Amino acid sequence: MLAIVAPGQGAQKPGFLLPWLSGWDGAARATAQLRWMSALAGLDLIQLGTEADADAIKDTATTQPLLTAAALVAASALPVSEAAVVAGHSVGELGAAAMAGVLTPETAIAFAGVRGREMAAACGLEPTGMTALLGGDEDDVVATIEAAGLTPANRNGSGQIVAAGSLAGLEKLAAAPPEKARVRPLAVAGAFHTHYMAPARDALAALAGGITPSQPERLLLSNADGKAVTTGAEAVARLVRQVTSPVRWDLCMAAMADLGVTALIELPPAGTLAGLAKRALKGVEIVTVNTPDDLPKAADLARRYGGGPVESGVRFHVAVAPSAGTFTRADLAEGDPVGAGERIGAVETRQGPVEVAGHRDGVLVEWLAHTGDPVAAGTPLARLNPAGA
């Protein structure tokens, strides 16, 4: 099973778009795409991605549309339809939402432009910042962060947690860090993914009313809890709330492990999420895409682990819970055929049972939840093998 992921702010490097604009057969298309995205974002993304220095591209207002554009350009050159799972870290969720078919590329770029500007403006209202803590006991690290009046804004797995909040709180944390944890201040404009970003959230909420999303075409994992987003409307609502909510990339990786992801492609500027995956997803084959030279390797990975018969099996479809409640399985055993629209279970909610059905003819390969299990919206329930695969 193939996952494609998009990195977040901090992954950018000066000149990282240069290889995409010349020297390969898709250069003209990539240049045209970036010109169009520049018009939508109100920024010269080509100049920012080729000539701008590190200081210019770490500005929140420019970084976010730049990263979203890079992910979309690379994704358009890849067989994204082969991916069963997509996800993005922080602003990377916009590229992931486009890959899932929830947002058009144009909507993703426009949203990124507003998100970047509004978050930059929110950073200017009060002096705040972020500090990474590496190592230490996770519970102790989180407790120490909260005792300093801060928020664990990013929980990235592999002993990486980012604290965010007031500068006074960060100074308190640095003076008395958790045992066995290393403290590394981050060069960011403010406390992202905390209540300090409320003005940006409100601005995005006003924008979201004009967006017409589509239903997800593949599993789109949410930063909020690692669960699969079940509807386009829910995806947009989560994108709005995300700017004030912690990023739980650890839960996204745990969901990939539970789903049986065996291969992962990271879009440019790649490396950060691949490094986390190497430690958390043992045995998963990983390709990082930073230049067009990496596209053949990524396409080969998609061929081997994506749709249709592959060396390690077949592409699976995953049924997820449509809402929160308690799951009850249908009277089906692993290996039983399941027809399109056939009931595979139900989620008992406060409003009554919500039926869960197969989307197409196939075989029930593996149950991922048991009768009586509490589930949240998007929790994987069963893995299905399409008929004929």
Q: Tell me, yes or no, whether 233 and 379 share the same domain.
A: no
Phi, psi (degrees; rounded to nearest 5) at 315 = -70, 135
Q: Vertex 116, ends 256 and 294: CA angle to 5°?
A: 50
- pLDDT tens, 155-204? 999 899 999 999 999 999 999 999 999 999 998 999 999 999 999 999 99
In a domain, 272, yes or no: yes
Tell me the sheet residues that pair with 350: none
Q: Give the range of the structural domain holding residue 132, as residue numbers without chain letter.
A: 125-185
The reply to whether omega before 185 is within 30° of 0 (cis) is no
Span 129-155, average pLDDT:
96
Residues tagged active-site: 90, 193
- pLDDT tens, 208-245? 999 999 999 889 999 999 999 989 999 999 999 999 99
In a domain, 311, yes or no: no
Q: Tell me, yes or no, whether 247 and 360 share the same domain.
A: no
Q: Tell me, yes or no, whether 9 and 155 share the same domain.
A: no
Number of domains composing the chain: 3
Q: Tell me, yes or no, whether 84 and 141 share the same domain.
A: no
Q: Which of 58, 56, 74, 52 is nearest to 11 (CA)?
A: 58
Q: Tell me, yes or no, whether 141 and 35 share the same domain.
A: no
In a domain, 241, yes or no: yes
Q: Tell me, yes or no, whether 89 and 164 share the same domain.
A: no
> What is the spatial order of strands in the sheet that 374-375 belongs to?
352-357, 343-349, 325-329, 374-375
Q: Tell me, yes or no, whether 169 and 59 share the same domain.
A: no
- Supply the pLDDT for residue 316: 55
Q: How many CB atoms lie within 10 A of CB 179?
A: 10
Q: Which of 262, 282, 305 is the last residue of a domain?
A: 305
* Tokens of residue 8, six digits: 């977040």
| Entry pTM | 0.84
In a domain, 310, yes or no: no
Q: For strands 219-220 and 85-88, give the pairing.
A: parallel
* Interatomic CA distance for residues 141 and 180, integer angstroms: 9
In a domain, 81, yes or no: yes
Q: Tell me, yes or no, whether 105 and 139 share the same domain.
A: no
